[in-house]
């Protein structure tokens, strides 16, 4: 599994918060640390992290029954136990 460095920073920030965080707060924390990510790219990154099972997030279910990740300022996301394990394994290296 290949992880982008920004994904690791996202997981690290979420671990430090300990509970769910809004996308707005995550973006603000990333900006403070010098990681200015385009909103579209952040949405794609969060979607991929969710697909990998590393984060959990609010979902939007469309009329045809497909699920898509919601990525507005008030969407809450949290790190999963799998995300914590992955982060811990990488930090040990």
How many Å from the N-terminal Cα to the C-terminal Cα in the chain?
A: 15
| DSSP code of residue 61 | E
* pLDDT attached to residue 67: 66
Beta pairing, strands 59-61 & 67-69: antiparallel
Domains and CATH numbers, the chain: 5-92 (1.10.10.10)
Q: How far apart are CA 62 and CA 86, in angstroms?
A: 31
Tell me, yes or no, if the pTM score tops 0.85: no
Q: Which helix (H) or strand (E) holds 68?
A: strand 67-69
* Residue 79: how many other CB atoms lie within 10 Å: 25
Token pair belonging to 3: 């992880």
Give dist(CA 10, CA 33) in Å, integer.
11
Q: What is the pLDDT of residue 35?
A: 86
* Per-residue pLDDT at 31: 92
Per-residue pLDDT of the chain (93 residues; tens, 9 = 90+): 566 888 888 898 888 887 788 889 999 999 998 888 888 888 888 888 888 899 888 766 667 776 666 667 888 889 999 988 888 887 654
């Amino acid at each position: 599994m290949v992880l982008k460095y920004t994904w690791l920073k996202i997981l690290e920030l979420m671990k430090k918060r300990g509970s769910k965080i809004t996308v707005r707060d995550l973006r603000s924390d990333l900006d403070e640390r010098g990681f200015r990510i385009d909103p579209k790219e952040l949405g794609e990154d969060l979607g991929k992290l969710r697909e990998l099972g590393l984060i959990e997030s609010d979902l939007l279910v469309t009329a045809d029954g497909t699920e898509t990740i919601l990525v507005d300022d008030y969407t809450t996301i949290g790190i999963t136990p799998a995300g914590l394990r992955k982060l811990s394994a990488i930090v040990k290296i």
